[in-house]
Amino acid sequence: MEKKVTIYSKPGCGQCMFTKKYLDKSKVSYFEKNISENPDWAEEVKALGFQTLPVIVIEGEEPFTGYQPQKLDALVI
């Protein structure tokens, strides 16, 4: 079963771009929450305890920030 993946991002964020490209290349589906489009999503990032982007939330795992391919590899079957 595929885990639900959410990426909090914003325009001009290099690590956000690398994370999304990595997941796209690996054919992992995700929901993107661009915080510049919805201020509530920026509040969700703060509630998760983060101040930098991207924030990656994988169902059943601890959220993390930054471009971290080694953690994203767990999504690739």
For the chain, the domains span 5-75
**pLDDT-derived band at 75, boundaries 50, 70, 90:** confident
pLDDT of residue 77: 62
Q: Smallest Cα–Cα separation from 5: which of 54, 41, 57, 77? A: 57
Q: Under a CB-based contact definition with an 8 Å cutoff, are residues 4 and 53 in contact?
A: no
Q: What is the pLDDT of residue 12?
A: 97
Give me the sheet containing 5-9, strands edge to edge. Answer: 31-34, 5-9, 55-58, 64-65
Task: Please tell me the CATH code under which domain 5-75 is placed.
Answer: 3.40.30.10
* Cα 77 from chain centroid (whole Å): 18
Quote the DSSP letter at residue 75: G
Q: Which pLDDT does position 74 carry in this prediction?
A: 83
In 10-73, DSSP assigns E strands to 31-34, 55-58, 64-65
pLDDT for residue 76: 77
- State pLDDT tens for residues 12-56: 999 999 999 999 999 999 999 999 999 999 999 999 999 999 999
